[in-house]
C-alpha cells in the first residue's frame, strides 16, 4: 500500500510481485491509503447490525426482559462492536452523525418507538439511559488520552502525541483533522482546560470523573 505517491511502487520477492492494495486489515482495524475511516465504519456498522439482528428475536424483543437488561445486552454485544478501536478514530461530523443515527435507530427498535410517535432523540436517550455516540466518542478518546499522558517518557504513543515536526508544511486548502485537534475539542466539551491535562490525568479517579461528564 502506498500513500501520496505519483508512481505506483513495484516490489518483488523472488519471482513473486506483491499486489498493490488500497486497504488492508491489521489487528482488526482497516488501514486505507487515503487515510479515510469510511471502510472501517462500514465494517463496524455491518458487524454491529448483524449482532443486532441476531439478538432482536432472542432477547431485545423479549417482553419478559426489562429495559435495563436489554440495554446491558445492547451495550455488551452491539455497542461494543460499533465502538471497537474508536479511541484513536479521527472522525468528521458526517461520520459521527452516521454512527449516531445507527445508535438511535437501534434504541428506537429496542424501546418500540416508531417515527409516528414523534419522540425526540434526547427523549429516546433518556429512556434508554444511554449517552449519544458523540458523548461516547469523546469519553473513549479522553480515556485513551489519559493512558498516553501517564505513560513513561520514551513510549512511542507519548512521543507521537507530544512530538512536533521540525520541517515541512501542510498542503494548501483545508487541512486534514489531526488527533491532537480531536483531543482539544473533546477536552473543551468536557470543560477541561488543555493546559491542566497532565495534572488531571495523573490522578486516575479524578480523570475518570472528568471525562465521564463529557456531553454533546
Separation between Cα atoms, residue 115 and residue 104, nearest integer Å: 12
Q: Tens of pLDDT along 36-67? A: 788 889 989 999 999 999 999 889 988 899 99
Domain ranges in the chain are 23-130, 139-211
Would you list the DSSP string of 113-150? --GGG---HHHHHHHHT---HHHHHHHHHHHHHHHHHH
Q: How far from 85 is each of 27, 139, 144, 162, CA to CA, in Å?
A: 10, 13, 10, 21
- Identify the bridge partners of residue 17 per DSSP, sorted by sequence position: 12
pTM: 0.82
Burial-class residue 38 by CB neighbours within 10 Å (0-12, 13-18, 19+): middle
With cut-offs at 50, 70 and 90, classify the pLDDT of residue 71.
very high
Separation between Cα atoms, residue 192 and residue 73, nearest integer Å: 32
User: What is the residue whose three cell numbers read 432472542?
Assistant: 58
Amino acid at each position: 500500500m502506498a500513500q501520496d505517491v505519483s508512481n505506483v511502487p513495484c516490489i518483488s520477492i523472488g519471482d513473486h510481485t506483491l499486489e498493490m492494495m488500497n486497504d488492508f486489515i491489521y489487528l482488526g482495524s482497516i488501514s486505507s491509503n487515503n487515510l479515510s475511516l469510511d471502510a472501517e465504519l462500514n465494517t463496524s456498522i455491518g458487524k454491529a447490525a448483524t449482532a443486532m439482528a441476531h439478538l432482536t428475536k432472542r432477547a431485545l424483543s423479549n417482553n419478559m426482559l426489562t429495559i435495563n437488561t436489554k440495554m446491558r445486552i445492547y451495550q455488551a454485544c452491539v455497542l461494543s462492536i460499533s465502538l471497537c478501536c474508536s479511541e484513536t478514530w479521527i472522525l468528521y461530523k458526517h461520520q459521527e452523525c452516521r454512527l449516531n443515527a445507527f445508535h438511535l435507530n437501534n434504541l428506537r427498535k429496542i424501546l418500540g418507538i416508531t417515527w409516528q410517535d414523534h419522540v425526540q432523540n434526547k427523549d429516546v436517550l433518556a429512556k434508554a439511559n444511554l449517552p449519544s455516540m458523540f458523548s461516547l466518542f469523546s469519553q473513549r478518546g479522553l480515556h485513551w488520552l489519559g493512558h498516553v499522558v501517564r505513560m513513561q517518557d520514551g513510549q512511542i504513543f507519548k512521543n507521537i502525541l507530544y512530538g512536533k515536526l521540525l520541517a515541512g508544511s501542510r498542503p494548501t486548502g483545508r487541512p486534514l483533522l489531526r488527533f491532537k485537534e480531536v483531543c482539544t475539542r473533546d477536552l473543551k466539551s468536557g470543560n477541561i482546560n488543555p493546559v491542566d491535562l497532565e495534572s488531571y490525568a495523573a490522578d486516575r479517579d479524578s480523570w475518570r470523573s472528568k471525562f465521564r461528564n463529557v456531553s454533546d
